[in-house]
A = this chain, B = another copy of it.
Amino acid sequence: MKAFKQSDYHVSGHGPRNLHVLKDAIGKLHGELESDMYGKGKVIEDFQEKMAGVLGKEAAVFFPSGTMAQQVALRIWCDEKDLKTVAYHPLCHLEIHEEDGLKELHHIKPVLLADENRVITLDDVMNIDEEIACLLLELPQREIGGQLPDYTTLEEISAYCREKGIRLHLDGARLFEVLPFYKKSAQEVCGLFDSVYISVYKGIGGIAGAVLAGSKEFTEKSKVWKRRHGGDLISLYPYILSADYYFDEHIHKMVQYYEEAKELAEFYNQCFGITTLPKVPVSNMFHVHAEAPKEDMQDLLAKMYEETGIGLTGHVRENGEKGSRFEVSLGDLYSRVPKRRLKEAFAKLDERMKSR
A230 to B26, Cβ gap below 8 A?
no
Minimal Cβ-Cβ distance residue in B for A41: B17
Cα distance, A64 to B208, chains bound together (Å): 12
In Å, the complex CA distance between A68 and B225 comes to: 12
A34 in contact with B16 (CB, 8 Å):
yes
B20 near A32 with CB under 8 A, answer yes
Taking CB atoms, residues of chain B closer than 8 Å to A146 are none
Contact B99 A228 (CB under 8 A): yes
A26 touches B30 (CB 8 A): no
Task: Specify which of A26, A32, A99, A225 lies most central, judged by the most chain B CB atoms within 10 Å of its CB.
Answer: A99
Among the listed B18, B65, B99, B105, which residue makes an inter-chain contact with A31, where contact means beta carbons less than 8 Å apart? Answer: B18
> Are B37 and A19 in contact (CB-based, < 8 A)?
no
Pick the contact of A98 from B22, B30, B227, B239 — CB < 8 Å? B227
Interface check A201, CB cutoff 8 A: yes
Contact with B along A230-245 (1 / 0, CB 8 A): 1111111111010000
Distance from A136 Cβ to chain B, minimum over Cβ atoms (Å): 15
A34 to B208, CA, bound (A): 14
The smallest beta-carbon distance between A270 and chain B, in angstroms, is 32
Inter-chain CA distance A66–B233, complex, in Å, is: 9
**Least CB distance, A4 to chain B, in whole angstroms:** 14
Instruction: Point out which of A37, A105, A237 has the most chain B C-beta atoms below 10 A from its C-beta.
Output: A105
Residues of B near A16 (CB, < 8 A) are 32, 34
The reply to whether A68 and B229 form a contact with Cβ atoms under 8 Å apart is: yes
Across the interface, name the chain B residue whose C-beta is closest to A102. B228
In the complex, chain B residues whose CB is within 8 Å of the CB of A227: 67, 98-99, 101
Report yes or no: B26 in contact with A19, Cβ–Cβ below 8 A.
yes
CB atoms of A101 and B26 under 8 A apart: no
State A211–B197 Cα separation when bound (angstroms).
28
Of all chain B residues, the one with the shortest Cβ separation from A32 is B18
CB distance from A237 to the nearest CB of B (A): 7
A11-27 residues with Cβ-Cβ distance < 8 A to B are 16-23, 26
Docked Cα-Cα span, A50 to B68, in Å, equals: 28
Would you call A230 and B35 a contact (CB within 8 A)?
A: no
Could you write out 19 A-B pairs with CB less than 8 Å apart? Answer: A16-B34, A17-B34, A17-B35, A17-B235, A18-B33, A19-B26, A19-B30, A19-B33, A21-B35, A23-B31, A67-B230, A67-B232, A71-B230, A98-B230, A99-B225, A101-B230, A105-B229, A207-B234, A229-B229
